[in-house]
Amino acid sequence: MPMPPMVLSTGEPAGIGPDLALMLAQSDKQWPVVVLADRAMMAQRAAQLGLSVRFQDPQTAPPQLGQGEMALHHVPLTAPCVAGTLDTDNARYVLSLLETAVAGCESGLYSAMVTGPVHKGVINDAGIPFSGHTEWLADRTHTPRVVMMLAGEAMRVALATTHLPLKDVAQAITPASLTETLTILHHDLQVKFGLPSPRILVAGLNPHAGEGGHMGREELEVIIPVLQALREQGMQLIGPLPADTLFNRPVLAQGDAVLAMYHDQGLPVLKYATFGEGINITLGLPIIRTSVDHGTALDLAGTGRADAGSLKAAITWAWTLAKQHRQASTSPQ
């Protein structure tokens, strides 16, 4: 039985999400993906970009679309949209794209979801608390804990904490939270990435991984005991390692993924190495979700200067992960 298509939420309509979807529709080799967006807005943006795109009804579209074709599921805008100009009235539209995508994945209509960039500020300015896709998806799917991972050809970096002020990070890293994070990371590396015995490099929190307690005690009191306990359960965990030397190639070669303790410990390195082709993956969800690793780039919207490399990578990864997850779930135990 063929796999269902993926679904693409185009994100903030004033940003480059719609542009990227339209640009990918120009490819002569397309993926099985349904795009969620307002049809009139997409037609206007295509004209602004000078692109010819034929919109197909997802229910009647052929399995393989041709160059310049897009399977489009119409989700109406709340207010008219101008490329590059945010409007709080469209915050509900952005969330309705996500809701439609998640519901489709949960029902089996879609095999995975890919998300375009959203603008957290405009959603919050509309009076809707929103700290990011990762947290919203966890709440929507009633998932107690999820793990953010960014990935590229060069490396995979997961996070023990996500969008927190730096002053709150140490308090958020508890034995329970770190154990949950590593358990999710280990499980999804096995099931979604097809790694039977994944090796995880774990960064320390403090400079020099605490240097024996002289630069902080979180390694001694939290990280090391958790790693030891999980090693006894069979996990291959290396660390805690000083973050300033962890990202050297010889060290990275010893692992399949890195667990960084906070957002800006691991992601600047990964984005430097993979920007333009890196992606975001939410681990621990009951569905497959990938995303671009960049923002809405309002100044580029409607100009034709946006780079679709990260979206292309996110779609490719989503399809690969969905196929691997399907294989793992149907294989005899």
Torsion-angle region of residue 332: left (phi > 0), alpha (psi -120 to 50) or beta?
beta
Ligand-binding site membership of 274 (annotated): no
Cα–Cα distance measured from residue 32 to residue 165, given in angstroms and rounded to the nearest whole number: 39
Ligand-binding site membership of 231 (annotated): no
The pair of structure tokens assigned to 6 is 């993926």
Ligand-binding site membership of 303 (annotated): no
Ligand-binding site membership of 280 (annotated): yes
Buried residues in 154-168 as b, exposed as e (16+ CB within 10 A): bbbbbbbbbeeeeee
Cα–Cα distance measured from residue 192 to residue 232, given in angstroms and rounded to the nearest whole number: 23
Ligand-binding site membership of 289 (annotated): yes
The pair of structure tokens assigned to 139 is 């709440």
Ligand-binding site membership of 73 (annotated): no
Whether residue 132 contacts residue 159, with contact meaning beta carbons closer than 8 Å, is answered with no
Ligand-binding site membership of 134 (annotated): yes
Beta strand 54-56 with 113-115: parallel, antiparallel or unpaired?
A: unpaired
Ligand-binding site membership of 271 (annotated): yes
3-state secondary structure of 173: coil
End-to-end CA separation in angstroms for the chain: 21
Cα–Cα distance measured from residue 47 to residue 66, given in angstroms and rounded to the nearest whole number: 19
Whether residue 17 contacts residue 117, with contact meaning beta carbons closer than 8 Å, is answered with yes
Give whole-number Cα distances, 79 to 24, 43, 49, in Å: 26, 16, 21
Mark the binding-site residues for a divalent metal cation, compressed into ranges.
163, 208, 263
Mark the binding-site residues, compressed into ranges.
133-134, 163, 208, 263, 271, 280, 289
Mark the binding-site residues for substrate, compressed into ranges.
133-134, 271, 280, 289
